Amino acid sequence: MNATRSNNRFHPFSIAIHWLTLVLLAVVYALIELRKYYPKGSEIREGLKTWHFIFGLTIFAIVLIRIVVRLMHRAPPITPKPPVWTWPFREGMHLALYLFLIAMPILGWMTLSAKGKTIPFWGLHLPPIHIVDKALAKQLEATHATIAYVGLALIALHTIAALIHHYILRDDALMRMLPERKG
Ligand code: HEM
Ligand code: HEM
């Protein structure tokens, strides 16, 4: 179990996936933002959207694996122990981040399904998860967009909290999420 690891870090797989998710999210946001600079229907715009879908679904796949690994390995304790009242905020924030990583790809997948469009995934076409319903597709797309911005706010708060732990509380919360240096 992670809690008994002498180096007091998250499982190496969890650490790798945590930082990979950050990179993938940056790519997913950048791709969809960049589409605005190209005319509707253009090949580049459609390509950027397709890669947004593919990388977004990749985030979905890896968050599911991540949750399984996390259930198998407990989070290592933070040293020195942060005040007890901070615990629900930390747990609540992590839960919200996991929900965001699950909800966004499902909403995107449902949007494409309701639009009657194909769902590309690394050379495959995934099955639709909703019947075609153009009105619903609009609502789903709007919800997907709103949660995308809520997610950015959550990530900003989460990053600030990590920096407060490191520089103000001076505990090992952040170090536990960094890869171990050899030697
Ligand atoms: C964590 C993963 C994801 C994030 C953070 C994300 C974020 C975003 C953002 C920021 C937008 C632009 C919203 C706006 O117009 O202001 C967007 C649009 C969209 N996303 Fe995602 N997305 C994710 C995954 C997915 C997935 C997996 C799919 C589909 C399989 C998808 C389908 C769409 C669609 C259809 C649009 C509208 C694009 C258009 O036609 O202009 N998204 N997404
Ligand atoms: C520069 C940006 C980031 C920093 C500095 C950072 C730092 C950290 C730290 C220090 C922890 C351990 C917190 C603790 O145990 O109390 C953590 C956990 C976590 N981070 Fe991040 N993070 C960043 C970005 C992200 C992003 C983009 C996501 C995904 C949306 C994310 C999702 C999570 C989740 C879900 C956990 C909980 C892990 C668990 O206990 O299962 N983080 N992060």
Q: Could you tell me the residue range of the domain that residue 34 belongs to?
A: 2-177
Mean pLDDT for 22-39 is 98
**pLDDT (tens digit per residue) in 87-108:** 999 999 999 999 999 999 999 9
Tell me whether residue 37 is in a domain.
yes
Contact indicator for 9, 15 with CB cutoff of 8 Å: yes
Q: Which two tokens stand for residue 24?
A: 């993938």
Q: What is the C-alpha to C-alpha distance for residues 101 and 95, in angstroms, rounded to an integer?
A: 10
Query: CA 23 from chain center: how many Å?
Result: 10
Tell me whether residue 123 is in a domain.
yes
What is 16-40 written as a DSSP string?
Answer: HHHHHHHHHHHHHHHHHHHGGGS-T
Q: Which residue, judged by its Cα, is nearest atom 34 of ligand 2?
A: 94
Q: Is the CB of 111 under 6 A from ligand 1?
A: yes
Q: What is the C-alpha to C-alpha distance for residues 178 and 34, in angstroms, rounded to an integer?
A: 31
Q: Terminal CA-to-CA distance of the chain, rounded, Å?
A: 23
Tell me whether residue 105 is in a domain.
yes
Q: Is the pLDDT of residue 5 over 50?
A: no
Q: Is the CB of 94 under 6 A from ligand 2?
A: yes
- Residue 106 alpha carbon, nearest atom of ligand 1: 27
Instruction: Give the chain's domain count.
Output: 1
Q: Is the pLDDT of residue 137 over 50?
A: yes
Tell me whether residue 183 is in a domain.
no
Q: Is the pLDDT of residue 3 over 60?
A: no
Ligand nearest to the CA of 166: 2
Tell me whether residue 103 is in a domain.
yes
The CATH number covering residue 146 comes to 1.20.950
Tell me whether residue 164 is in a domain.
yes
* Ligand 1 center from residue 56 Cα (angstroms): 8
Q: Which two tokens stand for residue 166?
A: 């490191």
Tell me whether residue 182 is in a domain.
no
Beta strands in the chain (DSSP E): 119-121, 124-126
Quote the percentage of the chain above a pLDDT of 70. Answer: 95
Tell me whether residue 99 is in a domain.
yes
- Residue 57 alpha carbon, nearest atom of ligand 1: 27
139, 136, 141, 113: which is closest to 125 by C-alpha? 113
Q: Give the pTM.
A: 0.95
